[in-house]
Amino acid sequence: MDSARVVVTGLGAVSCLGLTVDDMWAGLTAGRSGIGRITAFDPVGFSCKVAGQVPDYKIQKYLPKTYRKAAKLMCRDIELAIIAANEALVNSGLVTKGIDPDNINIDPTRVGINLGAGLISCDLIELAPAVAASATDGKFDIRKWGKEGLEHVTPLWLLKYLPNMLPCHVGIIHDLQGPSNTITCAETSGHIAIGEAAQTIARGDSDVAVAGGAEAKVNPMVIMRQCLLGRATSEGNDDPESACRPFDAHAKGSVFGEAGGVAILENLENAAGRDAEVLAEIVGIGQSSSINPEYEHIEPDGRGIAIAIEKALQDADVSPAELDLIIPHGTGIPADDLAEAKAIQTVLGDSVSKVAVWPTKSMLSTTGAACGALDVIAAVRAISEGTIPAAKNLEKKADGCELNIVRQPARMDVKYALCCGYTYGGQTAALVLKKFVA
């Protein structure tokens, strides 16, 4: 990256392991899975009945008094983004309008937002009375909908579901007026949003960015989609904690879930100027595409992933051997895991036996636009704590996987960590994080 150095000064996460980053990290280091039977709806008719659900919370608690009325305009994805952004901002020591309007210490025009968001599915129960009012002889009648059914839909309905409403609400709560963007590249949105936010700061267009992603995938439409695509496992319904098995010989598919993850990125000078604690530095970003006509899967040789990793290492001016940790995408979908393993193996070459690889989705589930952000947060914690936790649900590596997957937690100095991601649809991304040295 050119020009300004970009550092991480705050973290916020809401995941199936808890409502805070500390909860998430405690779960990850204890090897606990947050995956359980779906309670958001009755999954009896679904082949996959498990998911990573966020524990109960009250959104009002996270909203300034003056903004509580706006809660009715929020889908769950928006709520998760707000919770994670609040924690990250507080953690960074930045004081915004939403945190303490009397002691603001930011220039709102110099703080941007870049969040990944998913294909947000609407609340089917909310829509159901309108649909029911549009039936003729038991069948949906579009003419009746246009005339009567539509009147049952709350006037601001659409605004709940636009992806850019995640940064919109966060921006209003905290009064952040800088460059704003919403990345919609499915499961690699979080990686890309953080990378792009870093680039925006590096080129001088903002000093600070609220960056990450959020997605609430425990919705019947979403789970159905993943079941139909054969990406969701049907094997873990009796033992949810063991359902998601990245790189394991007995992996049968992924488990989906919900989360929000936010990192506060900051121009180093800005962070130093306010004596902020620096948690890590972002030193490399790389991106590419997988090219595969069957684009629900990554191309079998993982080339698009390898290109992204190579570019990120090049951008960071780091050799593969210098990496201490890789957090892969590792979904538990056998064909995709194998392609990713091949990509990492290609880039690492002889270093493959030395670089620790730690997949997290066995514990956090696949959380769409949030998963890249959760992995970056986990990597920052690994760097700042000097600890790499162990992988979960890895009994025997799948054929063709030669990665050095962490089996025992290790205390070690993590100088360079790489997070990589890919998604159905083909986009790939990699980020290199570095232990901060002034």
Partner 1 sequence: MADRDEDKRVVITGMGIVCPLGHDVETVWQAILAGQSGMAKTTVFDASTFPTTFGAEVKNYDFTEYVNRPERHRGSSRGAGFAIGAAAQACKQAGIEIETAGPTDGVARERLGMYLGAGESSVNNDVFFAAILAGWDTDKNEMDWDKWAKVAFGGMDPGYELEQEANAPLAHIAMLTGARGPARNCLTACAASTQAVGEAATLIRAGDADVMIAGGAHSMIHPLGVTGFNRLTALSTRNDTPETASRPFSASRDGFILGEGAAILILESLGSARRRGVEILAEVMGYGSSADAFRVTDMHEEGRGAIAAMTAAISDAGITYGDIDYINAHGTGTSENDYIETKAIKGVFKEKAKGIPVSSVKSMLGHLIGAAGAAELITCVLAIRDNIVPPTMNLDDPDPELDLDYVANAPKKTPVNIVMNESFGFGGQNDVVIIKRFS
Q: Which residue has the tokens 């405690």?
A: 26
Q: Quick one: which of 31, 93, 409, 425 contacts partner 1 (CB under 8 A)?
A: 425
The CB-of-369 to partner 1 minimum distance in angstroms stands at: 10
Q: Which is nearer to partner 1, 106 or 418 (CB)?
A: 106
The Cβ-side half-sphere exposure at 146, using a 13 Å CA radius, reads 3
What is the Cα–Cα distance from 367 to 92, expressed in whole angstroms? 24
* Per-position b or e across 62-83, b if 16+ CB within 10 A of its CB: bbbeeeeeebeebbbbbbbbbb
**Quick check: 161 and 120 in contact, CB under 8 A?**
yes
Q: Write out the DSSP string of 284-326.
A: EEEEEE---SSTTS--TT-HHHHHHHHHHHHHHT--GGG--EE
Smallest gap from residue 307 Cβ to partner 1 (A): 6
Q: Which CB atom, from 403 or from 432, has the smaller least distance to partner 1?
A: 432
**CA distances in angstroms from 227 to 43, 253, 254, listed in the order given:** 12, 10, 10
Nearer to partner 1, 197 or 383 (CB): 197
Binding to partner 1 (CB under 8 A): which residues in 4-43? 41-43
The answer for residues whose C-beta is within 8 angstroms of residue 298's C-beta and 6 or more apart is: 290, 292, 304, 305, 335, 336, 339, 340, 422, 426, 428
Per CB under 8 A, the list member of 291, 321, 349, 396 interacting with partner 1 is 291
Residue type, 191: H
Is 331 a residue that touches partner 1 (CB under 8 A)?
no
Which 228-257 positions form the footprint of partner 1 (CB under 8 A)? 228-230
Rounded to the nearest whole angstrom, what is the least distance from the CB of residue 3 to partner 1 in the complex?
9
What's the CA gap between 58 and 386, in Å, rounded? 34
Give the count of residues interacting with partner 1 (CB under 8 A): 99
| Encoded tokens for 283 | 């030193």
Binding to partner 1, residues 161-190 (CB under 8 A): 161-165, 167-169, 171-172, 174-186
- Contact between 203 and partner 1 by CB under 8 A: the answer reads yes
Would you say 177 or 242 has its CB closer to partner 1? 177
Tell whether residue 86 is a contact of partner 1 (CB under 8 A). no
- Grouping H, G, I as helix, E, B as strand and the rest as coil, residue 227 is helix
| Nearer CB in complex with partner 1: 160/252 | 160
Is position 138 an interface residue for partner 1 (rule: CB under 8 A)?
Answer: yes
Q: In sequence order, what DSSP letters do the residues of 116-161 get, joined into one string?
A: EE--PPP-HHHHHHHHHTTEETTEE-HHHHHHTGGGGS-TTGGGGS
Q: Does 295 bind partner 1 (CB under 8 A)?
A: yes
In the list 70, 71, 104, 406, the residue contacting partner 1 (rule: CB under 8 A) is 70
Q: Of 26, 128, 249, 412, which one interacts with partner 1 (CB under 8 A)?
A: 128
426 binds partner 1 (CB under 8 A): yes
Helix (H, G, I), strand (E, B) or coil at 366: strand
Whether the CB-CB separation of 48 and 295 falls below 8 Å is answered with: no
Segment 271-290, which members bind partner 1 (CB under 8 A)?
287-290
Q: Which of 26, 124, 321, 412 binds partner 1 (CB under 8 A)?
A: 124
**In the bound complex, what is the minimum distance in angstroms from residue 427's beta carbon to partner 1?**
4
* Residue in the block written with tokens 């979080």: 190
- Residue 95 touching partner 1 (CB under 8 A): no
Output 165 or 363, the one with its CB closest to partner 1. 165
Q: Closer CB to partner 1, residue 30 or residue 229?
A: 229
